[in-house]
A and B are shown apart, each in its own frame.
Chain A
Amino acid sequence: MVILKKAIVLVPLMMLLASSAAQSRQTRLPSIPTGMVEIAQGEYAPLYKSPDGEDSIAVSAFLIDADPVTNQNFLDFVIQNPKWSKSQVSRIFADETYLRHWASDTDIGDAFPTSPVTNISWFAAKAYAKWKGNRLPSVAEWEYVAGAGLHSPDGKSEDGFTTHILNLTNRVTPNTPFLVGLTKPNYWGVRDLHGLVWEWTSDFNSALITGESRADANLERKLYCGSGVVGASDFTDYAAFMRFAFRGSLKAAYSGANLGFRTARSL
């Protein structure tokens, strides 16, 4: 009797799932690689914009990894591309701390295979993405995806979203980064954008932060943040300020214990 009840519930549910999967396969062409999700086109309001810049940037539809790249993923890459191993990488492309949490070139040591890979440079992340047939997401793409709440593309419309993101961002780094994929996916089906690791973007340093946050108002470089304090679109989005400050502190060869990445692909 109990089994029968379950079956009655399950069968229509499975039918429903099968039909929706079939439907999405029809609409999403070409097929989406495993582990990536499709992000519909939309608009991103930049935190910093140039004086004559638009209030929002159009983001075309694209694919992005649902989870950050893991140690295991990156190990596969390094094994096939030994020039990106710890011992062989050029100092121009990665600094001294590159993959320092790994035991050797091809042994991740005590790191968890499914923890996000960290201690990788922008060059290395870019090379990995290319190897996968992908690219790094732009700041606009990344922020657009990360701005989604659990139920809508605009997280700020959901109660407590800003505070929640700030709390996640403000956590002290654990000695071992948590595993990927354990947190709730956001509206797009993307996980761990906040609070696990920072993530490289293709144009990480295009919003110009000098380090003297109060003086950024005086910079007059049209391509960059331009007017800092005046130019910031939302003074209350502290988590975003933290992300932009972090990106601003980086150079492409830097690697850090809190810095990982995920890849994207144009449609």
Chain B
Amino acid sequence: MTNFLSRLSRGLAIILFFGTSLILSGCQSNEIKGEEQALLTYAPAVPAAITRNHPTKVIIELETTEVVKRLADGVDYTFWTFGGEVPGKFIRVREGDLVEFHLNNHPDSKMPHNIDLHAVTGPGGGAASSFTAPGKGTTFSFTALNPGLYVYHCATAPVGMHVANGMYGLILVEPKEGLEPVDKEFYVMQSEFYTQGAYGDAGLQPFDMEKALLETPDYVVFNGSVGSTTGDKAITANVGDRIRLYVGNGGPNLVSSFHVIGEIFDLVYTEGGSIANENVQTTLVPAGGSAIVEFTVDVPGTFIIVDHSIFRAFNKGALAMISVEGDANDAVYSGLQDESVYLPEGGAIQNIAGAAPAAQIAETIEERIAAGERIYSSNCAACHQPEGQGIAGVFPPLAGSDYLLSDPDRAIHVVVNGLEGEIEVNGETYNGVMPGVRLSDEDVANVLTFVLNAWGNEGGEVIPSHVTRARSTH
């Protein structure tokens, strides 16, 4: 009798088991099947969406290197990297995947490194198991238990310095059910750099520990350098595209007020989690945190990604661009003029305090133009655009500008002292505020000489004594 019952219950269990697994195999299974090498991408690219409906074993190889690269025009920095670039390579796995992680430290590295992936459940997020001397490799495994967008970073002492030098990236754990398909996906990661020289000071700039402790960076950038994603390197899309940005913040210190000028996020997976908020203008991205934002681009033009803690955008480099092509939609586009309210300086002209940086002395007009071009891209291009074309209705053009070319002396005043109120440029009215720019007389002369000779402008030279004179007649 007992025997019969136990046989019966065993039989039932078998039927139940097979029945359930049949149902499951119809949609998806939780059993790990197969093995694959993860394809990792550099920002702003994102690996293709995962089409598997089952977990697998994913093998990830990531190399730590220490490299000297461009931080801004004329400015180099010794970056410590995951994969040779800042931010580190983007990793994409699926919820339930068993990840076998290989961290290799290049033999030329000076430092040992490790990796703490916030997607890992376990001590140190993997850091305790991945401490790797130069010329060595380590391996550990974890299961991606929780879906979401996670930061990874180096956690070797002094940990702040490893992060400050560029050791962070993103790992996306796609939920089992996948993410809604979109037209374009991009990887954008904010971070800040602390250099011994001031913003724009040329040459190889060493890490400044004092500034890092005070949390006063010289550079706040997207994707590892000033201008990484502007002009020719802007993210591109077409009118009507649904765009998804995987946004991370490597820090090490600052929290980002992430904003796209002229767009409203239709969806924000706040902090990279599972709950979507709708119709968001600016979303906070914590240091060591993330957000997934989605929006559809309805009109053509340049949409500027900023940290809306806005001095970082205009004075420290926190600016990237989405260039959208397609047919215009005048009704929607005209709304863009309201963007002028985002200017942080408010209604009054302001100057930024501090001693003027030492300028190099240009001997010839050619040297002046060359020096001016660098100053332009660090100080002016954010608003007036890389080709001096401005943004219609918001930032006046400099290329072929009647306002500029008819009176270069007035232009000196504008650069030195700032300008507010209504002006007319090439028949179009602008009513904004430009802050006075903190530049030496030499730098003002150089940048204006560059502007006067760029993009088809007719030429001319501004020399430092003109600037000195203009300052004294303010």
Q: Does B249 contact A (CB under 8 A)?
A: no
> By DSSP majority rule, is chain A's interface helix, strand, loop, or mixed?
loop
Contact B78 A241 (CB under 8 A): no
Contact A245 B156 (CB under 8 A): yes
Contact A257 B68 (CB under 8 A): no
What does the 1/0 interface line of B87-116 toward A look like (CB < 8 Å)?
A: 000000000000000000001111110101
B124-163 with Cβ < 8 A to chain A: 124, 127-136, 155-159, 161
Which one of A163, A198, A249, A259 lies within 8 Å of B132 (CB-CB)? A249
Cβ contacts under 8 Å, B207 to chain A: 166, 170
Cβ contacts under 8 Å, B156 to chain A: 211, 213, 245, 249
B166-199 with Cβ < 8 A to chain A: 196
Contact B155 A212 (CB under 8 A): yes
Given contacts A238-B209, A250-B133, A254-B136, contact A210 B128 (CB under 8 A): yes
Q: Does B74 contact A (CB under 8 A)?
A: no
Q: Does B213 contact A (CB under 8 A)?
A: yes
**Alpha-carbon distance A170/B67, docked complex (angstroms):** 11
Q: Does B85 contact A (CB under 8 A)?
A: no
Q: Does A214 contact B (CB under 8 A)?
A: yes
Contact A245 B135 (CB under 8 A): no
Interface size on B, residues (CB 8 A): 36
Q: Does A172 contact B (CB under 8 A)?
A: yes
Contact B67 A256 (CB under 8 A): no
Chain A interface size band reads: 35 or more
Contact A214 B155 (CB under 8 A): yes
Given contacts A172-B67, A257-B108, contact A238 B131 (CB under 8 A): no
What does the 1/0 interface line of A163-199 toward B look like (CB < 8 Å)?
A: 1001101111101000000000000000000000010
**Alpha-carbon distance A171/B128, docked complex (angstroms):** 26
- Which residues from chain A sit less than 8 Å from chain B, CB to CB? 97, 162-163, 166-167, 169-173, 175, 198, 209-216, 236, 238, 241-242, 244-246, 248-251, 254-259
- Which residues from chain B sit less than 8 Å from chain A, CB to CB? 66-68, 78, 107-112, 114, 116, 123-124, 127-136, 155-159, 161, 196, 206-207, 209-210, 213
| 22 chain-A/chain-B pairs, Cβ below 8 angstroms | A163-B209, A170-B78, A171-B78, A172-B68, A172-B78, A211-B130, A212-B123, A215-B124, A238-B161, A238-B209, A241-B157, A245-B112, A245-B158, A246-B133, A249-B131, A251-B133, A254-B135, A257-B108, A257-B134, A257-B135, A258-B108, A258-B134
